[in-house]
Amino acid sequence: MPRAYEYDAFISHAVEDKIPIANELCDRLEKAGLKIWYSGRELNAGDSISTTIGDGLNQSRFGIVILSKTYISKTWTIREFYHFMAREKEGQKVILPVMYNVSLEDLAQKDLTMADRFAINADRGLDYVVNRLLEAINKENAISGNVKKNKPIWLGIGAIVLMLLALIYAAKFFLVNNPEAPQLESIAAVIETRIEKMEKSILANNINSFKNAGAKPASMESIDSLYTAFKNFKSYYRNEYEFNNGLKTIRAKKHVTAALQTSVENLSPVNAYGFTLPQLLLLRNGQKVKYSMFNTQPLDYVITESHQTSDSTHTITVKYNNNIRLIEVDLIFPHDASGMKKHQMLLMGFLPQEVYTLTRIGSEWKIIE
Protein backbone atom coordinates (compact mmCIF):
# COMPACT_ATOMS: atom_id res chain seq x y z
CA MET A 1 0.00 0.00 0.00
CA PRO A 2 1.50 3.39 -0.95
CA ARG A 3 2.44 5.69 1.89
CA ALA A 4 0.16 8.64 2.61
CA TYR A 5 1.76 12.08 2.72
CA GLU A 6 0.20 15.22 4.16
CA TYR A 7 1.91 17.51 1.63
CA ASP A 8 2.54 17.14 -2.08
CA ALA A 9 5.86 18.95 -1.87
CA PHE A 10 8.29 20.76 0.41
CA ILE A 11 10.03 23.82 -1.04
CA SER A 12 13.63 23.77 0.17
CA HIS A 13 15.21 27.18 -0.37
CA ALA A 14 17.53 29.79 1.07
CA VAL A 15 15.74 32.69 2.70
CA GLU A 16 17.52 35.08 0.32
CA ASP A 17 15.70 33.39 -2.58
CA LYS A 18 12.27 33.80 -1.03
CA ILE A 19 11.34 37.08 -2.72
CA PRO A 20 13.07 36.48 -6.10
CA ILE A 21 11.48 33.07 -6.74
CA ALA A 22 10.26 30.94 -3.79
CA ASN A 23 7.20 32.98 -2.74
CA GLU A 24 5.68 33.14 -6.21
CA LEU A 25 6.58 29.53 -6.97
CA CYS A 26 4.70 28.42 -3.85
CA ASP A 27 1.66 30.52 -4.78
CA ARG A 28 1.56 29.19 -8.34
CA LEU A 29 1.84 25.55 -7.26
CA GLU A 30 -0.92 25.98 -4.67
CA LYS A 31 -3.18 27.60 -7.28
CA ALA A 32 -2.52 24.51 -9.41
CA GLY A 33 -4.01 22.39 -6.62
CA LEU A 34 -0.92 21.19 -4.76
CA LYS A 35 -0.53 21.28 -1.00
CA ILE A 36 2.88 22.80 -0.28
CA TRP A 37 4.96 22.84 2.92
CA TYR A 38 6.49 26.31 2.94
CA SER A 39 8.40 27.64 5.93
CA GLY A 40 6.94 31.12 5.66
CA ARG A 41 3.51 29.65 6.41
CA GLU A 42 4.07 26.48 8.41
CA LEU A 43 6.32 27.89 11.17
CA ASN A 44 4.47 29.30 14.17
CA ALA A 45 5.44 31.17 17.31
CA GLY A 46 7.10 28.91 19.86
CA ASP A 47 7.81 26.11 17.36
CA SER A 48 11.09 24.23 17.42
CA ILE A 49 12.45 25.30 14.04
CA SER A 50 14.49 22.19 13.30
CA THR A 51 11.78 19.81 14.58
CA THR A 52 9.00 21.55 12.63
CA ILE A 53 11.03 21.59 9.42
CA GLY A 54 12.01 17.96 10.01
CA ASP A 55 8.33 17.04 10.26
CA GLY A 56 7.66 18.94 7.04
CA LEU A 57 10.44 17.07 5.24
CA ASN A 58 9.04 13.70 6.32
CA GLN A 59 5.41 14.58 5.57
CA SER A 60 6.10 15.77 2.00
CA ARG A 61 6.14 13.44 -1.01
CA PHE A 62 8.54 15.58 -3.04
CA GLY A 63 11.31 18.01 -2.24
CA ILE A 64 11.39 20.97 -4.63
CA VAL A 65 14.96 22.18 -4.16
CA ILE A 66 15.80 25.69 -5.39
CA LEU A 67 19.51 25.35 -6.04
CA SER A 68 21.28 28.70 -5.95
CA LYS A 69 24.70 29.97 -4.93
CA THR A 70 23.19 31.01 -1.61
CA TYR A 71 21.53 27.61 -1.13
CA ILE A 72 24.73 25.61 -1.58
CA SER A 73 26.64 27.93 0.77
CA LYS A 74 24.43 27.26 3.80
CA THR A 75 24.65 24.32 6.18
CA TRP A 76 20.96 24.10 7.01
CA THR A 77 19.75 24.05 3.39
CA ILE A 78 22.28 21.34 2.50
CA ARG A 79 20.90 19.27 5.40
CA GLU A 80 17.46 19.44 3.79
CA PHE A 81 18.90 18.32 0.43
CA TYR A 82 20.67 15.34 2.02
CA HIS A 83 17.51 14.46 3.95
CA PHE A 84 15.63 14.07 0.67
CA MET A 85 18.55 12.16 -0.86
CA ALA A 86 18.34 9.64 1.98
CA ARG A 87 14.66 9.09 1.19
CA GLU A 88 15.14 8.33 -2.48
CA LYS A 89 14.71 4.66 -3.33
CA GLU A 90 15.29 2.69 -6.50
CA GLY A 91 12.79 3.87 -9.08
CA GLN A 92 11.22 6.52 -6.83
CA LYS A 93 12.04 10.17 -7.34
CA VAL A 94 11.88 12.57 -4.39
CA ILE A 95 14.11 15.53 -5.30
CA LEU A 96 12.86 17.95 -7.97
CA PRO A 97 15.73 20.42 -8.47
CA VAL A 98 15.33 23.94 -9.84
CA MET A 99 18.47 25.82 -10.86
CA TYR A 100 18.33 29.53 -10.01
CA ASN A 101 21.30 31.78 -10.88
CA VAL A 102 23.76 28.93 -10.43
CA SER A 103 25.87 26.86 -12.85
CA LEU A 104 26.56 23.14 -13.04
CA GLU A 105 30.19 23.95 -12.21
CA ASP A 106 29.08 25.66 -8.99
CA LEU A 107 27.04 22.60 -8.03
CA ALA A 108 29.81 20.16 -8.91
CA GLN A 109 32.28 22.01 -6.71
CA LYS A 110 29.86 21.64 -3.79
CA ASP A 111 28.67 18.07 -4.43
CA LEU A 112 28.75 15.99 -7.61
CA THR A 113 25.40 14.43 -6.73
CA MET A 114 23.80 17.87 -7.12
CA ALA A 115 25.25 18.40 -10.59
CA ASP A 116 24.43 14.84 -11.64
CA ARG A 117 20.69 15.50 -11.77
CA PHE A 118 18.52 16.93 -14.51
CA ALA A 119 17.32 20.23 -13.10
CA ILE A 120 14.68 22.68 -14.28
CA ASN A 121 16.36 25.94 -15.26
CA ALA A 122 14.60 28.98 -13.81
CA ASP A 123 16.15 31.15 -16.54
CA ARG A 124 13.37 29.90 -18.83
CA GLY A 125 10.73 31.61 -16.71
CA LEU A 126 8.41 30.68 -13.87
CA ASP A 127 5.68 29.38 -16.19
CA TYR A 128 8.14 26.83 -17.54
CA VAL A 129 9.29 25.88 -14.02
CA VAL A 130 5.74 25.38 -12.73
CA ASN A 131 4.65 23.34 -15.76
CA ARG A 132 7.69 21.06 -15.59
CA LEU A 133 7.24 20.52 -11.84
CA LEU A 134 3.56 19.66 -12.29
CA GLU A 135 4.44 17.23 -15.08
CA ALA A 136 7.09 15.51 -12.93
CA ILE A 137 4.83 15.28 -9.87
CA ASN A 138 1.85 13.93 -11.82
CA LYS A 139 4.06 11.40 -13.60
CA GLU A 140 5.64 10.11 -10.39
CA ASN A 141 2.30 9.96 -8.59
CA ALA A 142 0.85 7.91 -11.43
CA ILE A 143 3.77 5.48 -11.23
CA SER A 144 3.87 5.10 -7.44
CA GLY A 145 0.16 5.43 -6.73
CA ASN A 146 0.95 8.07 -4.10
CA VAL A 147 -1.79 8.99 -1.68
CA LYS A 148 -2.08 12.39 -0.03
CA LYS A 149 -3.16 12.28 3.60
CA ASN A 150 -5.83 14.80 4.51
CA LYS A 151 -6.21 15.92 8.09
CA PRO A 152 -9.76 16.13 9.48
CA ILE A 153 -11.19 19.65 9.56
CA TRP A 154 -12.59 20.88 12.86
CA LEU A 155 -15.71 22.98 12.79
CA GLY A 156 -17.41 24.82 15.61
CA ILE A 157 -16.64 26.97 18.62
CA GLY A 158 -13.59 24.95 19.68
CA ALA A 159 -11.81 25.61 16.40
CA ILE A 160 -12.64 29.31 16.50
CA VAL A 161 -11.30 29.63 20.04
CA LEU A 162 -8.09 27.81 19.11
CA MET A 163 -7.61 30.04 16.09
CA LEU A 164 -8.12 33.20 18.13
CA LEU A 165 -5.67 32.03 20.80
CA ALA A 166 -3.09 31.23 18.14
CA LEU A 167 -3.49 34.66 16.56
CA ILE A 168 -3.17 36.41 19.92
CA TYR A 169 -0.06 34.38 20.76
CA ALA A 170 1.57 35.13 17.41
CA ALA A 171 0.76 38.83 17.65
CA LYS A 172 2.20 39.02 21.15
CA PHE A 173 5.52 37.41 20.39
CA PHE A 174 6.16 38.16 16.73
CA LEU A 175 4.32 41.41 16.01
CA VAL A 176 2.95 40.07 12.76
CA ASN A 177 0.98 43.25 12.18
CA ASN A 178 4.11 45.39 12.37
CA PRO A 179 5.70 45.58 8.91
CA GLU A 180 8.98 46.69 10.50
CA ALA A 181 9.35 43.45 12.48
CA PRO A 182 11.41 40.63 10.94
CA GLN A 183 9.47 37.62 9.71
CA LEU A 184 9.84 34.36 11.64
CA GLU A 185 11.84 32.79 8.82
CA SER A 186 14.21 35.78 8.76
CA ILE A 187 14.79 35.29 12.48
CA ALA A 188 15.39 31.58 11.93
CA ALA A 189 17.91 32.41 9.19
CA VAL A 190 19.80 34.69 11.59
CA ILE A 191 19.95 31.91 14.19
CA GLU A 192 21.04 29.34 11.60
CA THR A 193 23.81 31.70 10.48
CA ARG A 194 24.98 32.02 14.08
CA ILE A 195 24.95 28.21 14.50
CA GLU A 196 26.84 27.75 11.24
CA LYS A 197 29.43 30.34 12.28
CA MET A 198 29.98 28.56 15.60
CA GLU A 199 30.26 25.15 13.94
CA LYS A 200 32.81 26.44 11.43
CA SER A 201 34.80 28.09 14.23
CA ILE A 202 34.88 24.87 16.24
CA LEU A 203 35.85 22.86 13.17
CA ALA A 204 38.61 25.21 12.03
CA ASN A 205 40.04 26.48 15.30
CA ASN A 206 39.61 23.43 17.51
CA ILE A 207 39.08 20.09 15.81
CA ASN A 208 41.22 20.60 12.69
CA SER A 209 44.02 22.38 14.55
CA PHE A 210 43.99 19.60 17.17
CA LYS A 211 44.28 16.97 14.43
CA ASN A 212 47.11 18.93 12.82
CA ALA A 213 48.92 18.86 16.17
CA GLY A 214 48.84 15.06 16.05
CA ALA A 215 45.62 14.16 17.87
CA LYS A 216 44.17 10.76 17.00
CA PRO A 217 40.72 9.18 17.40
CA ALA A 218 40.31 7.57 20.82
CA SER A 219 37.87 5.56 22.90
CA MET A 220 36.18 6.73 26.08
CA GLU A 221 37.85 3.80 27.86
CA SER A 222 41.35 5.08 27.04
CA ILE A 223 40.40 8.58 28.11
CA ASP A 224 38.88 7.24 31.32
CA SER A 225 42.12 5.39 32.09
CA LEU A 226 44.18 8.58 31.76
CA TYR A 227 41.63 10.61 33.70
CA THR A 228 41.62 8.05 36.54
CA ALA A 229 45.42 8.09 36.70
CA PHE A 230 45.31 11.87 36.92
CA LYS A 231 42.69 11.85 39.68
CA ASN A 232 44.63 9.27 41.69
CA PHE A 233 47.93 11.14 41.47
CA LYS A 234 48.54 12.64 44.91
CA SER A 235 49.64 16.26 44.69
CA TYR A 236 48.39 19.80 44.90
CA TYR A 237 45.90 20.51 42.15
CA ARG A 238 44.18 23.31 40.32
CA ASN A 239 40.95 23.21 38.29
CA GLU A 240 40.13 25.77 35.60
CA TYR A 241 36.85 26.05 33.69
CA GLU A 242 35.95 28.21 30.72
CA PHE A 243 32.92 28.52 28.46
CA ASN A 244 32.83 30.31 25.12
CA ASN A 245 29.80 30.82 22.87
CA GLY A 246 31.47 33.00 20.27
CA LEU A 247 29.98 36.14 21.78
CA LYS A 248 31.44 36.08 25.28
CA THR A 249 33.76 34.09 27.52
CA ILE A 250 32.85 32.93 31.03
CA ARG A 251 35.51 31.69 33.46
CA ALA A 252 35.60 30.01 36.90
CA LYS A 253 33.65 26.95 38.01
CA LYS A 254 30.82 28.75 39.76
CA HIS A 255 30.21 31.14 36.86
CA VAL A 256 30.34 28.43 34.17
CA THR A 257 28.09 26.15 36.27
CA ALA A 258 25.54 28.94 36.70
CA ALA A 259 25.63 29.93 33.04
CA LEU A 260 25.22 26.39 31.69
CA GLN A 261 22.87 25.29 34.49
CA THR A 262 24.89 22.11 34.93
CA SER A 263 27.53 21.00 37.43
CA VAL A 264 30.64 21.12 35.26
CA GLU A 265 32.83 19.56 37.96
CA ASN A 266 30.73 16.37 37.67
CA LEU A 267 31.41 16.03 33.94
CA SER A 268 33.85 13.17 33.43
CA PRO A 269 34.52 10.07 31.32
CA VAL A 270 32.21 8.12 33.65
CA ASN A 271 29.17 9.99 32.27
CA ALA A 272 30.75 10.67 28.83
CA TYR A 273 30.79 14.35 29.80
CA GLY A 274 27.04 14.43 29.26
CA PHE A 275 27.31 13.47 25.58
CA THR A 276 25.84 10.62 23.55
CA LEU A 277 28.34 9.00 21.15
CA PRO A 278 30.73 11.98 20.96
CA GLN A 279 33.60 12.15 18.48
CA LEU A 280 36.80 11.72 20.53
CA LEU A 281 40.36 12.90 19.85
CA LEU A 282 43.39 12.34 22.09
CA LEU A 283 46.95 13.72 22.19
CA ARG A 284 49.69 12.83 24.67
CA ASN A 285 52.75 15.04 24.93
CA GLY A 286 55.09 14.37 27.84
CA GLN A 287 53.42 15.37 31.10
CA LYS A 288 50.41 16.77 29.27
CA VAL A 289 47.33 14.91 28.06
CA LYS A 290 44.73 16.68 25.93
CA TYR A 291 41.48 15.26 24.62
CA SER A 292 38.39 16.69 22.97
CA MET A 293 34.79 15.54 22.63
CA PHE A 294 32.59 16.84 19.82
CA ASN A 295 28.83 16.52 20.27
CA THR A 296 27.50 14.57 17.28
CA GLN A 297 23.85 14.93 18.31
CA PRO A 298 21.81 17.55 16.42
CA LEU A 299 21.38 20.99 17.92
CA ASP A 300 17.74 21.98 18.38
CA TYR A 301 16.26 25.33 19.31
CA VAL A 302 12.99 27.13 19.99
CA ILE A 303 12.30 30.85 19.68
CA THR A 304 10.38 31.65 22.86
CA GLU A 305 10.10 35.44 22.75
CA SER A 306 10.37 38.22 20.18
CA HIS A 307 10.07 41.95 20.85
CA GLN A 308 10.38 45.01 18.63
CA THR A 309 12.53 47.58 20.46
CA SER A 310 12.73 50.21 17.71
CA ASP A 311 12.23 50.56 13.96
CA SER A 312 15.62 48.95 13.32
CA THR A 313 16.21 46.72 16.35
CA HIS A 314 14.52 43.56 17.55
CA THR A 315 15.16 41.28 20.56
CA ILE A 316 14.64 37.52 20.51
CA THR A 317 15.03 34.80 23.15
CA VAL A 318 16.17 31.37 21.99
CA LYS A 319 16.28 28.11 23.98
CA TYR A 320 18.79 25.48 22.86
CA ASN A 321 18.89 21.72 23.34
CA ASN A 322 22.22 19.83 22.99
CA ASN A 323 23.74 23.27 23.41
CA ILE A 324 27.27 22.20 24.45
CA ARG A 325 28.97 21.33 21.16
CA LEU A 326 32.59 20.72 22.18
CA ILE A 327 34.54 20.01 25.36
CA GLU A 328 38.33 20.13 25.49
CA VAL A 329 40.20 18.86 28.55
CA ASP A 330 43.86 19.36 29.41
CA LEU A 331 45.41 17.18 32.12
CA ILE A 332 48.84 18.39 33.18
CA PHE A 333 50.72 15.91 35.39
CA PRO A 334 53.41 17.19 37.80
CA HIS A 335 56.88 15.69 37.70
CA ASP A 336 56.52 14.55 41.31
CA ALA A 337 54.19 14.78 44.31
CA SER A 338 55.64 18.13 45.33
CA GLY A 339 54.43 19.72 42.10
CA MET A 340 50.92 20.81 41.11
CA LYS A 341 48.65 18.96 38.73
CA LYS A 342 46.29 21.03 36.64
CA HIS A 343 42.90 20.20 35.12
CA GLN A 344 41.58 22.60 32.48
CA MET A 345 38.20 22.31 30.79
CA LEU A 346 37.00 24.41 27.84
CA LEU A 347 33.34 24.15 26.83
CA MET A 348 32.07 25.63 23.57
CA GLY A 349 28.57 26.00 22.21
CA PHE A 350 25.52 27.94 23.32
CA LEU A 351 23.95 28.89 26.61
CA PRO A 352 20.72 26.99 27.40
CA GLN A 353 18.94 30.27 26.70
CA GLU A 354 20.38 33.19 24.77
CA VAL A 355 18.96 36.64 24.10
CA TYR A 356 19.97 38.35 20.86
CA THR A 357 19.51 41.90 19.69
CA LEU A 358 18.96 42.05 15.95
CA THR A 359 19.58 45.15 13.90
CA ARG A 360 18.29 45.81 10.42
CA ILE A 361 20.95 46.60 7.85
CA GLY A 362 19.23 47.40 4.58
CA SER A 363 16.74 44.59 4.04
CA GLU A 364 18.57 42.09 6.27
CA TRP A 365 18.54 41.47 10.02
CA LYS A 366 21.78 40.63 11.82
CA ILE A 367 22.85 39.91 15.41
CA ILE A 368 24.62 42.77 17.16
CA GLU A 369 27.85 41.31 18.53
For residues 91-112, give the mean pLDDT: 86
User: How many whole angstroms from its chain centre is CA 126?
Assistant: 30
pLDDT digits (tens, 9 = 90+) for 167-209: 444 544 444 444 466 777 778 888 888 888 888 888 788 999 9
Q: Is residue 57 scored above 70 in pLDDT?
A: yes
pLDDT digits (tens, 9 = 90+) for 312-350: 898 999 999 889 999 999 999 998 888 999 999 999 999
Name the pTM for this structure: 0.58
- Domain ranges in the chain are 4-151, 184-367
**What was the pLDDT predicted at 49?**
54
Least confident stretch, 46-50, 122-126, 141-145, 362-366? 46-50
pLDDT digits (tens, 9 = 90+) for 272-327: 999 988 999 999 999 999 999 999 888 888 888 888 888 889 899 999 988 999 99
Least confident stretch, 39-48, 150-159, 195-204? 150-159
Confidence label for 50 from pLDDT (cuts 50, 70 and 90):
low
Burial 245-266 (b: 16+ CB within 10 A, else e): beeeebeeeeebbebbebebee
Q: Is residue 115 scored above 80 in pLDDT?
A: no
Q: Which of the two residues, 159 and 351, has the higher pLDDT score? A: 351
Confidence label for 41 from pLDDT (cuts 50, 70 and 90):
low
Mean residue pLDDT of the chain comes to 84
Query: What is the CATH topology of the domain spanning 4-151?
Result: Rossmann fold (3.40.50)
**Amino acid type, 93:** K
